[in-house]
Chain A
Amino acid sequence: MNRSILIQFFSFFVYILVQVVLFKNLVLFNTGFCFFYIAFILLLPIETNSLVLMLLGFTMGFFIDIFYNSLGLHAFTLVLIGYIRNYWLAVITPQGGYDAGASPSMAEHGLQWFLVYTVPLVFLHHLTLFLVESAGFSLFWYSMLKTIGSLLFTLTILVVLQYLSPRRRRI
Protein backbone atom coordinates (compact mmCIF):
# COMPACT_ATOMS: atom_id res chain seq x y z
CA MET A 1 0.00 0.00 0.00
CA ASN A 2 2.76 2.42 1.02
CA ARG A 3 4.71 1.62 -2.10
CA SER A 4 1.82 2.42 -4.40
CA ILE A 5 1.28 5.76 -2.65
CA LEU A 6 4.94 6.59 -3.18
CA ILE A 7 4.64 5.70 -6.88
CA GLN A 8 1.54 7.88 -7.21
CA PHE A 9 3.37 10.72 -5.47
CA PHE A 10 6.21 10.63 -8.00
CA SER A 11 3.95 10.12 -10.97
CA PHE A 12 2.09 13.30 -9.89
CA PHE A 13 5.23 15.34 -10.61
CA VAL A 14 6.17 13.32 -13.68
CA TYR A 15 2.75 14.03 -15.22
CA ILE A 16 3.16 17.78 -14.58
CA LEU A 17 6.72 17.89 -15.94
CA VAL A 18 5.92 15.93 -19.09
CA GLN A 19 2.86 18.11 -19.70
CA VAL A 20 4.64 21.46 -19.40
CA VAL A 21 7.93 20.49 -21.02
CA LEU A 22 6.69 18.27 -23.84
CA PHE A 23 2.95 18.42 -24.53
CA LYS A 24 2.64 22.17 -23.97
CA ASN A 25 4.72 22.64 -27.15
CA LEU A 26 2.77 20.14 -29.21
CA VAL A 27 -0.27 21.72 -30.84
CA LEU A 28 -1.69 20.22 -34.02
CA PHE A 29 -3.28 22.48 -36.65
CA ASN A 30 -3.92 25.25 -34.11
CA THR A 31 -6.79 23.22 -32.64
CA GLY A 32 -5.46 19.93 -31.27
CA PHE A 33 -4.08 20.28 -27.76
CA CYS A 34 -2.93 17.46 -25.54
CA PHE A 35 -3.94 17.78 -21.89
CA PHE A 36 -2.39 14.50 -20.97
CA TYR A 37 -2.12 15.29 -17.23
CA ILE A 38 -5.82 14.40 -16.87
CA ALA A 39 -4.70 10.74 -17.00
CA PHE A 40 -3.36 11.08 -13.46
CA ILE A 41 -6.85 11.69 -12.07
CA LEU A 42 -8.48 9.18 -14.42
CA LEU A 43 -6.10 6.32 -13.57
CA LEU A 44 -6.11 6.55 -9.77
CA PRO A 45 -7.48 3.37 -8.11
CA ILE A 46 -11.25 2.94 -8.38
CA GLU A 47 -11.85 3.11 -4.62
CA THR A 48 -10.16 6.50 -4.25
CA ASN A 49 -12.33 8.86 -2.23
CA SER A 50 -13.77 11.71 -4.28
CA LEU A 51 -12.52 14.20 -1.66
CA VAL A 52 -8.97 13.01 -2.30
CA LEU A 53 -9.58 13.13 -6.05
CA MET A 54 -10.77 16.73 -5.91
CA LEU A 55 -7.92 17.90 -3.69
CA LEU A 56 -5.33 16.18 -5.91
CA GLY A 57 -7.07 17.62 -8.97
CA PHE A 58 -6.95 21.07 -7.50
CA THR A 59 -3.25 20.85 -6.61
CA MET A 60 -2.29 19.47 -9.99
CA GLY A 61 -4.43 22.01 -11.85
CA PHE A 62 -2.87 24.79 -9.82
CA PHE A 63 0.66 23.73 -10.82
CA ILE A 64 -0.33 23.38 -14.47
CA ASP A 65 -1.95 26.83 -14.33
CA ILE A 66 1.28 28.42 -13.14
CA PHE A 67 3.02 27.19 -16.27
CA TYR A 68 0.15 28.15 -18.56
CA ASN A 69 -0.29 31.60 -16.96
CA SER A 70 -3.97 30.84 -16.53
CA LEU A 71 -4.52 30.81 -12.78
CA GLY A 72 -7.62 28.84 -11.76
CA LEU A 73 -8.55 27.51 -15.19
CA HIS A 74 -7.05 24.01 -15.15
CA ALA A 75 -7.72 23.70 -11.42
CA PHE A 76 -11.42 24.37 -12.08
CA THR A 77 -11.74 21.71 -14.75
CA LEU A 78 -9.72 19.07 -12.88
CA VAL A 79 -11.81 19.51 -9.70
CA LEU A 80 -14.89 19.01 -11.86
CA ILE A 81 -13.48 15.80 -13.30
CA GLY A 82 -12.41 14.61 -9.84
CA TYR A 83 -15.96 15.10 -8.60
CA ILE A 84 -17.72 13.42 -11.50
CA ARG A 85 -15.29 10.53 -12.01
CA ASN A 86 -16.59 8.25 -9.25
CA TYR A 87 -20.23 8.78 -10.25
CA TRP A 88 -19.37 7.88 -13.82
CA LEU A 89 -17.44 4.80 -12.66
CA ALA A 90 -20.52 3.71 -10.70
CA VAL A 91 -22.72 4.11 -13.79
CA ILE A 92 -20.51 1.97 -16.03
CA THR A 93 -19.77 -0.79 -13.51
CA PRO A 94 -19.27 -4.02 -15.46
CA GLN A 95 -21.29 -7.11 -14.56
CA GLY A 96 -20.03 -8.49 -11.28
CA GLY A 97 -18.60 -5.18 -10.11
CA TYR A 98 -15.01 -4.04 -9.76
CA ASP A 99 -12.32 -6.11 -8.08
CA ALA A 100 -10.91 -4.82 -4.82
CA GLY A 101 -7.94 -2.54 -5.44
CA ALA A 102 -8.54 -2.43 -9.19
CA SER A 103 -7.49 0.56 -11.22
CA PRO A 104 -9.56 1.85 -14.14
CA SER A 105 -6.99 0.85 -16.75
CA MET A 106 -7.27 -0.79 -20.12
CA ALA A 107 -5.24 -3.78 -19.02
CA GLU A 108 -7.89 -4.74 -16.52
CA HIS A 109 -11.10 -3.87 -18.34
CA GLY A 110 -10.35 -3.86 -22.05
CA LEU A 111 -10.23 -1.18 -24.72
CA GLN A 112 -13.99 -0.83 -25.16
CA TRP A 113 -14.67 -0.21 -21.50
CA PHE A 114 -11.69 2.15 -21.31
CA LEU A 115 -13.04 4.29 -24.17
CA VAL A 116 -16.53 4.40 -22.64
CA TYR A 117 -14.89 5.53 -19.42
CA THR A 118 -12.53 8.17 -20.81
CA VAL A 119 -14.29 9.73 -23.83
CA PRO A 120 -17.10 11.55 -21.93
CA LEU A 121 -14.82 12.69 -19.13
CA VAL A 122 -12.08 13.97 -21.43
CA PHE A 123 -14.70 15.66 -23.63
CA LEU A 124 -16.28 17.38 -20.63
CA HIS A 125 -12.86 18.44 -19.36
CA HIS A 126 -11.81 20.01 -22.67
CA LEU A 127 -15.16 21.69 -23.28
CA THR A 128 -15.25 23.35 -19.84
CA LEU A 129 -11.63 24.32 -20.22
CA PHE A 130 -12.16 26.17 -23.50
CA LEU A 131 -15.48 27.70 -22.45
CA VAL A 132 -14.12 29.02 -19.16
CA GLU A 133 -11.05 30.33 -20.96
CA SER A 134 -13.09 32.28 -23.50
CA ALA A 135 -15.29 33.50 -20.60
CA GLY A 136 -18.66 32.78 -22.18
CA PHE A 137 -20.36 31.26 -25.18
CA SER A 138 -19.35 33.84 -27.77
CA LEU A 139 -16.72 31.48 -29.20
CA PHE A 140 -18.80 28.33 -28.67
CA TRP A 141 -18.38 26.69 -32.09
CA TYR A 142 -14.70 27.47 -32.30
CA SER A 143 -14.32 26.05 -28.78
CA MET A 144 -16.21 22.95 -29.93
CA LEU A 145 -13.77 22.52 -32.81
CA LYS A 146 -10.84 22.85 -30.40
CA THR A 147 -12.51 20.41 -28.01
CA ILE A 148 -12.99 17.70 -30.67
CA GLY A 149 -9.44 18.18 -32.00
CA SER A 150 -7.96 18.00 -28.50
CA LEU A 151 -10.17 15.03 -27.60
CA LEU A 152 -8.75 13.01 -30.50
CA PHE A 153 -5.18 14.01 -29.66
CA THR A 154 -5.41 13.40 -25.91
CA LEU A 155 -7.24 10.09 -26.34
CA THR A 156 -4.66 8.79 -28.80
CA ILE A 157 -1.90 9.57 -26.32
CA LEU A 158 -3.86 8.01 -23.45
CA VAL A 159 -4.57 4.77 -25.32
CA VAL A 160 -1.01 4.48 -26.63
CA LEU A 161 0.30 4.92 -23.09
CA GLN A 162 -2.09 2.22 -21.89
CA TYR A 163 -0.63 -0.20 -24.43
CA LEU A 164 2.90 0.76 -23.38
CA SER A 165 2.39 0.43 -19.63
CA PRO A 166 3.31 -2.95 -18.13
CA ARG A 167 0.37 -5.33 -17.97
CA ARG A 168 -0.38 -6.60 -14.51
CA ARG A 169 -3.55 -8.59 -15.05
CA ARG A 170 -5.09 -9.55 -11.74
CA ILE A 171 -6.56 -13.01 -11.42
Chain B
Amino acid sequence: MERLLNFVYTYRAFFTFLLLELFCIWLVVKNNQYQSAAYFNTSNAFFARIHTTSQNIRDYFALTSINALLAQENNQLRKKVERQNQALHFSPTKANTDSALINQYDFISARVINNSTKYYKNFITIDRGENSGIKPGMAVISANNVVGKVKSVSPHYAVLISILNLDEQVSCLIKRTGHFGTVQWDGTNPQLTNLKYIPRHVKPVVGDSIVTSEYNAIFPRGIFVGKIKEIELKEESLFYDIKVELGLDFSKLSFVEVIKNNLKKERDSLETKTIGEPK
Protein backbone atom coordinates (compact mmCIF):
# COMPACT_ATOMS: atom_id res chain seq x y z
CA MET B 1 0.00 0.00 0.00
CA GLU B 2 2.78 2.39 0.94
CA ARG B 3 4.57 1.60 -2.29
CA LEU B 4 1.43 2.35 -4.22
CA LEU B 5 1.03 5.69 -2.49
CA ASN B 6 4.69 6.44 -3.10
CA PHE B 7 4.21 5.59 -6.75
CA VAL B 8 1.23 7.93 -7.05
CA TYR B 9 3.15 10.64 -5.22
CA THR B 10 6.21 10.32 -7.46
CA TYR B 11 4.08 10.65 -10.56
CA ARG B 12 1.65 13.17 -9.09
CA ALA B 13 2.13 15.60 -11.97
CA PHE B 14 1.16 12.94 -14.48
CA PHE B 15 -1.88 11.83 -12.51
CA THR B 16 -3.11 15.39 -12.05
CA PHE B 17 -2.60 15.86 -15.76
CA LEU B 18 -4.71 12.79 -16.56
CA LEU B 19 -7.43 13.82 -14.11
CA LEU B 20 -7.70 17.37 -15.45
CA GLU B 21 -7.70 16.23 -19.09
CA LEU B 22 -10.42 13.65 -18.42
CA PHE B 23 -12.49 16.32 -16.71
CA CYS B 24 -12.02 18.64 -19.71
CA ILE B 25 -13.04 15.89 -22.14
CA TRP B 26 -16.15 15.28 -20.07
CA LEU B 27 -16.93 19.01 -20.27
CA VAL B 28 -16.41 19.03 -24.05
CA VAL B 29 -18.66 16.02 -24.59
CA LYS B 30 -21.34 17.35 -22.27
CA ASN B 31 -21.29 20.77 -23.92
CA ASN B 32 -21.70 19.23 -27.36
CA GLN B 33 -25.02 17.64 -26.55
CA TYR B 34 -27.77 19.55 -28.22
CA GLN B 35 -29.80 21.71 -25.86
CA SER B 36 -27.84 20.81 -22.80
CA ALA B 37 -28.42 23.00 -19.79
CA ALA B 38 -25.35 25.19 -19.78
CA TYR B 39 -24.45 27.65 -17.07
CA PHE B 40 -20.91 28.41 -18.08
CA ASN B 41 -21.36 30.14 -21.40
CA THR B 42 -22.04 33.64 -22.65
CA SER B 43 -25.69 33.54 -21.55
CA ASN B 44 -24.33 34.08 -18.05
CA ALA B 45 -25.25 37.68 -17.15
CA PHE B 46 -21.78 38.74 -15.99
CA PHE B 47 -19.91 37.46 -19.04
CA ALA B 48 -22.64 38.65 -21.39
CA ARG B 49 -22.30 42.19 -20.06
CA ILE B 50 -18.64 42.30 -21.10
CA HIS B 51 -19.68 41.18 -24.58
CA THR B 52 -22.44 43.79 -24.70
CA THR B 53 -19.95 46.57 -24.04
CA SER B 54 -17.60 45.23 -26.67
CA GLN B 55 -20.45 44.85 -29.18
CA ASN B 56 -21.66 48.39 -28.47
CA ILE B 57 -18.31 49.69 -29.65
CA ARG B 58 -18.29 47.45 -32.73
CA ASP B 59 -21.88 48.42 -33.64
CA TYR B 60 -20.75 51.99 -33.91
CA PHE B 61 -18.53 51.20 -36.87
CA ALA B 62 -21.18 49.08 -38.57
CA LEU B 63 -24.05 51.57 -38.27
CA THR B 64 -24.17 52.39 -41.98
CA SER B 65 -24.36 48.81 -43.16
CA ILE B 66 -26.86 47.88 -40.43
CA ASN B 67 -29.09 50.76 -41.51
CA ALA B 68 -28.89 49.70 -45.14
CA LEU B 69 -29.81 46.12 -44.23
CA LEU B 70 -32.76 47.18 -42.10
CA ALA B 71 -34.06 49.51 -44.79
CA GLN B 72 -33.79 46.72 -47.32
CA GLU B 73 -35.68 44.35 -45.03
CA ASN B 74 -38.38 46.98 -44.43
CA ASN B 75 -38.75 47.37 -48.14
CA GLN B 76 -39.18 43.63 -48.66
CA LEU B 77 -41.71 43.34 -45.85
CA ARG B 78 -43.76 46.24 -47.16
CA LYS B 79 -43.84 44.67 -50.59
CA LYS B 80 -44.97 41.38 -49.07
CA VAL B 81 -47.75 42.98 -47.02
CA GLU B 82 -48.99 44.83 -50.09
CA ARG B 83 -48.99 41.65 -52.17
CA GLN B 84 -50.90 39.81 -49.45
CA ASN B 85 -53.44 42.63 -49.15
CA GLN B 86 -54.06 42.51 -52.88
CA ALA B 87 -54.50 38.75 -52.81
CA LEU B 88 -57.00 38.98 -49.95
CA HIS B 89 -58.87 41.73 -51.70
CA PHE B 90 -59.60 39.54 -54.70
CA SER B 91 -60.35 36.29 -52.93
CA PRO B 92 -61.91 37.02 -49.55
CA THR B 93 -63.44 33.56 -49.35
CA LYS B 94 -60.04 31.90 -49.18
CA ALA B 95 -58.94 34.02 -46.25
CA ASN B 96 -57.86 32.06 -43.22
CA THR B 97 -60.17 32.85 -40.30
CA ASP B 98 -58.80 30.52 -37.63
CA SER B 99 -57.17 32.98 -35.24
CA ALA B 100 -55.03 30.25 -33.68
CA LEU B 101 -53.49 29.57 -37.10
CA ILE B 102 -53.12 33.24 -38.00
CA ASN B 103 -51.34 33.92 -34.71
CA GLN B 104 -49.36 30.69 -34.77
CA TYR B 105 -46.00 32.45 -34.78
CA ASP B 106 -44.86 35.24 -32.49
CA PHE B 107 -41.65 37.09 -33.23
CA ILE B 108 -39.29 38.38 -30.56
CA SER B 109 -36.71 40.83 -31.84
CA ALA B 110 -33.23 40.72 -30.29
CA ARG B 111 -29.78 42.21 -30.77
CA VAL B 112 -26.72 40.07 -31.41
CA ILE B 113 -24.03 40.72 -28.80
CA ASN B 114 -21.57 37.96 -29.62
CA ASN B 115 -21.10 36.11 -32.87
CA SER B 116 -18.50 33.98 -34.58
CA THR B 117 -18.31 32.42 -38.03
CA LYS B 118 -14.76 31.15 -38.12
CA TYR B 119 -14.73 28.19 -35.77
CA TYR B 120 -16.05 24.69 -36.40
CA LYS B 121 -18.78 25.20 -33.83
CA ASN B 122 -20.15 28.70 -33.96
CA PHE B 123 -22.54 30.20 -31.46
CA ILE B 124 -24.40 33.48 -31.28
CA THR B 125 -25.39 35.31 -28.09
CA ILE B 126 -28.43 37.62 -28.08
CA ASP B 127 -29.66 40.11 -25.50
CA ARG B 128 -33.09 38.60 -24.85
CA GLY B 129 -33.76 35.58 -22.66
CA GLU B 130 -36.26 33.72 -20.57
CA ASN B 131 -37.93 36.94 -19.38
CA SER B 132 -38.92 37.71 -22.97
CA GLY B 133 -40.39 34.25 -23.45
CA ILE B 134 -37.46 32.57 -25.18
CA LYS B 135 -37.03 28.86 -24.56
CA PRO B 136 -34.41 26.34 -25.77
CA GLY B 137 -35.31 24.86 -29.15
CA MET B 138 -36.90 27.94 -30.71
CA ALA B 139 -36.02 28.96 -34.25
CA VAL B 140 -34.15 32.17 -35.03
CA ILE B 141 -34.27 34.08 -38.31
CA SER B 142 -32.97 37.36 -39.64
CA ALA B 143 -34.75 39.14 -42.50
CA ASN B 144 -36.46 35.87 -43.50
CA ASN B 145 -33.17 33.95 -43.52
CA VAL B 146 -32.40 31.00 -41.27
CA VAL B 147 -29.98 31.81 -38.45
CA GLY B 148 -30.21 28.90 -36.00
CA LYS B 149 -31.86 27.48 -32.91
CA VAL B 150 -31.82 28.55 -29.27
CA LYS B 151 -29.48 26.34 -27.26
CA SER B 152 -29.63 27.68 -23.73
CA VAL B 153 -31.20 30.65 -21.98
CA SER B 154 -30.67 32.76 -18.88
CA PRO B 155 -33.10 35.45 -17.63
CA HIS B 156 -31.74 38.16 -19.95
CA TYR B 157 -29.60 36.41 -22.54
CA ALA B 158 -29.72 33.40 -24.84
CA VAL B 159 -27.10 31.41 -26.73
CA LEU B 160 -28.02 30.20 -30.22
CA ILE B 161 -26.50 27.37 -32.22
CA SER B 162 -25.77 29.00 -35.56
CA ILE B 163 -26.36 26.93 -38.71
CA LEU B 164 -22.62 27.44 -39.20
CA ASN B 165 -22.04 24.68 -36.65
CA LEU B 166 -20.97 21.11 -37.39
CA ASP B 167 -23.65 19.77 -35.05
CA GLU B 168 -26.61 21.70 -36.41
CA GLN B 169 -28.97 20.10 -38.94
CA VAL B 170 -32.04 21.72 -40.47
CA SER B 171 -34.68 19.94 -42.51
CA CYS B 172 -35.01 21.78 -45.82
CA LEU B 173 -36.50 21.35 -49.26
CA ILE B 174 -35.76 22.43 -52.79
CA LYS B 175 -38.49 24.97 -53.39
CA ARG B 176 -38.99 24.22 -57.08
CA THR B 177 -39.25 20.42 -56.88
CA GLY B 178 -40.41 19.97 -53.28
CA HIS B 179 -37.86 17.27 -52.42
CA PHE B 180 -36.50 17.51 -48.92
CA GLY B 181 -33.08 16.93 -47.43
CA THR B 182 -30.91 18.12 -44.59
CA VAL B 183 -28.74 21.21 -44.48
CA GLN B 184 -25.53 20.74 -42.54
CA TRP B 185 -22.38 22.86 -42.55
CA ASP B 186 -18.98 21.28 -43.24
CA GLY B 187 -16.88 23.63 -41.14
CA THR B 188 -14.88 25.43 -43.82
CA ASN B 189 -16.42 28.33 -45.73
CA PRO B 190 -18.86 30.55 -43.78
CA GLN B 191 -20.65 31.48 -47.03
CA LEU B 192 -21.38 27.92 -48.17
CA THR B 193 -23.30 25.06 -46.62
CA ASN B 194 -24.25 21.57 -47.81
CA LEU B 195 -27.59 20.06 -48.71
CA LYS B 196 -27.54 16.35 -48.03
CA TYR B 197 -29.74 13.34 -48.79
CA ILE B 198 -31.24 14.53 -52.08
CA PRO B 199 -31.75 11.21 -53.95
CA ARG B 200 -30.48 10.49 -57.47
CA HIS B 201 -33.80 10.71 -59.31
CA VAL B 202 -34.28 14.40 -58.45
CA LYS B 203 -33.03 16.95 -60.96
CA PRO B 204 -31.81 19.97 -59.02
CA VAL B 205 -30.54 22.97 -60.99
CA VAL B 206 -27.92 25.55 -60.05
CA GLY B 207 -29.80 28.56 -58.67
CA ASP B 208 -32.68 26.61 -57.08
CA SER B 209 -33.84 28.12 -53.79
CA ILE B 210 -33.49 26.05 -50.64
CA VAL B 211 -36.08 26.79 -47.94
CA THR B 212 -36.97 25.18 -44.62
CA SER B 213 -39.54 22.41 -44.62
CA GLU B 214 -42.31 21.92 -42.10
CA TYR B 215 -40.97 18.59 -40.88
CA ASN B 216 -38.93 19.98 -38.02
CA ALA B 217 -41.73 21.78 -36.11
CA ILE B 218 -39.24 24.52 -35.23
CA PHE B 219 -38.94 26.63 -38.36
CA PRO B 220 -42.06 27.78 -40.17
CA ARG B 221 -42.29 26.55 -43.75
CA GLY B 222 -40.45 28.49 -46.41
CA ILE B 223 -37.75 30.36 -44.48
CA PHE B 224 -34.97 31.03 -46.97
CA VAL B 225 -31.63 29.25 -46.53
CA GLY B 226 -29.79 29.88 -49.76
CA LYS B 227 -29.36 29.12 -53.44
CA ILE B 228 -27.73 26.05 -54.98
CA LYS B 229 -24.23 26.90 -56.17
CA GLU B 230 -22.70 23.57 -57.16
CA ILE B 231 -24.14 20.15 -57.89
CA GLU B 232 -22.10 16.98 -57.98
CA LEU B 233 -23.29 13.40 -58.42
CA LYS B 234 -20.65 10.75 -57.90
CA GLU B 235 -20.91 7.49 -59.83
CA GLU B 236 -21.39 5.27 -56.79
CA SER B 237 -23.17 7.54 -54.31
CA LEU B 238 -26.86 7.40 -53.45
CA PHE B 239 -27.25 11.12 -52.94
CA TYR B 240 -26.16 14.36 -54.56
CA ASP B 241 -23.39 16.52 -53.10
CA ILE B 242 -24.94 19.96 -53.22
CA LYS B 243 -23.24 23.19 -52.17
CA VAL B 244 -25.62 25.95 -51.13
CA GLU B 245 -24.67 29.60 -51.04
CA LEU B 246 -26.18 31.11 -47.89
CA GLY B 247 -28.52 34.05 -48.34
CA LEU B 248 -27.24 35.72 -45.19
CA ASP B 249 -23.81 37.13 -44.42
CA PHE B 250 -23.33 35.83 -40.89
CA SER B 251 -20.37 38.06 -40.17
CA LYS B 252 -22.64 41.11 -40.49
CA LEU B 253 -25.46 39.80 -38.33
CA SER B 254 -26.72 42.44 -35.88
CA PHE B 255 -30.45 41.91 -35.34
CA VAL B 256 -32.38 38.64 -35.26
CA GLU B 257 -35.94 37.51 -34.60
CA VAL B 258 -36.74 34.54 -32.40
CA ILE B 259 -39.81 32.64 -33.56
CA LYS B 260 -42.21 31.37 -30.97
CA ASN B 261 -44.47 28.66 -32.33
CA ASN B 262 -47.70 28.83 -30.30
CA LEU B 263 -48.98 25.55 -31.69
CA LYS B 264 -45.78 23.56 -31.08
CA LYS B 265 -47.12 22.04 -27.87
CA GLU B 266 -50.28 20.86 -29.56
CA ARG B 267 -48.38 19.31 -32.46
CA ASP B 268 -45.79 17.68 -30.20
CA SER B 269 -48.35 16.16 -27.88
CA LEU B 270 -50.34 14.81 -30.83
CA GLU B 271 -47.21 13.29 -32.36
CA THR B 272 -46.07 11.83 -29.05
CA LYS B 273 -49.49 10.29 -28.48
CA THR B 274 -49.59 8.61 -31.89
CA ILE B 275 -45.94 7.94 -32.75
CA GLY B 276 -44.31 7.81 -29.33
CA GLU B 277 -41.54 9.79 -27.69
CA PRO B 278 -39.10 11.35 -30.14
CA LYS B 279 -35.62 9.87 -29.92
- In contact, A76 and B40 (Cβ under 8 angstroms): no
Q: Are B187 and A79 in contact (CB under 8 A)?
A: no
Q: Does B21 contact A (CB under 8 A)?
A: yes
Contact partners of A132 in chain B: CB under 8 A:
28
Is the CB of A159 closer than 8 A to any CB of chain B?
Answer: no
Task: Name the CB-closest residue of B to A142.
Answer: B188
Task: Note all chain A residues with C-beta closer than 8 A to B58.
Answer: 25
Residues of A within 8 A of B226 (CB): none
**Bitwise interface map of B from 155 to 170 toward A, beta carbon under 8 Å scored 1, else 0:** 0000100000010000
Q: Determine the chain A residues whose CB is within 8 A of the CB of B47 once the complex forms.
A: 66-67
Question: Interface of chain A, helix or strand or loop or mixed?
Answer: helix
Contact B16 A71 (CB under 8 A): no
Contact with B along A124-155 (1 / 0, CB 8 A): 00000010111100010010000000000000
Given known A21-B54, A25-B58, A67-B51, contact A72–B166 (CB-CB < 8 A): no
Collect the chain B residues with CB atoms within 8 Å of residue A162's CB.
none
Asked if residues A58 and B118 are in contact (CB atoms below 8 Å), the reply is no
Q: Considering only CB atoms and an 8 Å cut-off, how many residues of chain B contact the other chain?
A: 41
The answer on a CB contact under 8 Å between B118 and A21 is no
A24, B125: Cα distance in complex, Å: 14
Within the complex, which residue of A62, A71, A142 is in contact with B30, where a contact is CB–CB below 8 Å? A71
Q: A30-B118, A66-B44, A79-B20 are in contact. Are A72 and B26 (CB under 8 A)?
A: yes
Q: Taking the nearest CB of chain B, how far is it from the CB of A98, in angstroms?
A: 19
In the bound complex, CA of A27 to CA of B13 (Å): 35
Q: Are B28 and A71 in contact (CB under 8 A)?
A: yes
Contact (Cβ within 8 A) B16 A20:
no
Tell me whether B145 is interfacial, beta carbon within 8 Å.
no
B129 at the interface (CB under 8 A from A): no
In the complex, the chain B residue whose C-beta lies closest to that of A78 is B24
Collect the chain A residues with CB atoms within 8 Å of residue B188's CB: 139, 142
Bound Cα distance A71, B123 (Å): 12
Q: How far is B190's CA from A133's CA once the two chains are assembled, in angstroms?
A: 16
- The reply to whether A72 and B16 form a contact with Cβ atoms under 8 Å apart is no
Contact with B along A1-39 (1 / 0, CB 8 A): 000000000000000010011001101001001000000
Using CB atoms, name the residue of chain B closest to A30.
B118
Q: Once the chains bind, are A69 and B28 in contact (CB under 8 Å)?
A: no
Question: What chain A residues lie within 8 Å of B16 (beta carbons)?
Answer: 51, 54-55
Contacts of B27 in A (CB 8 A): 65, 71-72, 75
In the complex with contacts A69-B159, A76-B28, A142-B42 CB distance below 8 A: no
- Chain B residues, CB < 8 A from A27: 118
A residues less than 8 Å from B102 (CB atoms)? none
Do A83 and B17 touch (CB < 8 A)? yes
A30-B38 in contact (CB<8A): no
The answer, yes or no, to whether A46 is at the interface (CB within 8 Å) is no
Residue of A nearest to B160 (CB): A69
A135 to B23, CA, bound (A): 16
Q: Is A80 an interface residue (CB 8 A)?
A: yes
Contact yes or no, B20 A73, CB < 8 A: no
Give the chain A neighbours of B38 by CB distance below 8 A. Answer: 71
Closest to A69 in B: B123
CB-CB contacts of A48-74 with B at 8 A, as 1s and 0s? 001100110010011001111111110
Most buried by A among B24, B119, B120, B188: B24
16 A-B interface contacts by CB (under 8 A): A20-B54, A21-B54, A25-B54, A30-B189, A33-B118, A54-B16, A65-B27, A67-B42, A69-B123, A70-B119, A71-B38, A71-B41, A72-B26, A79-B17, A134-B166, A135-B32
Q: Which 4 A-B pairs have the closest CB atoms?
A: A72-B27, A72-B28, A76-B24, A71-B31
With A69-B159, A76-B24, A83-B13 given, name 11 new contacts (CB 8 A): A30-B118, A51-B13, A58-B20, A65-B27, A72-B28, A75-B20, A75-B27, A79-B17, A79-B20, A79-B21, A130-B120
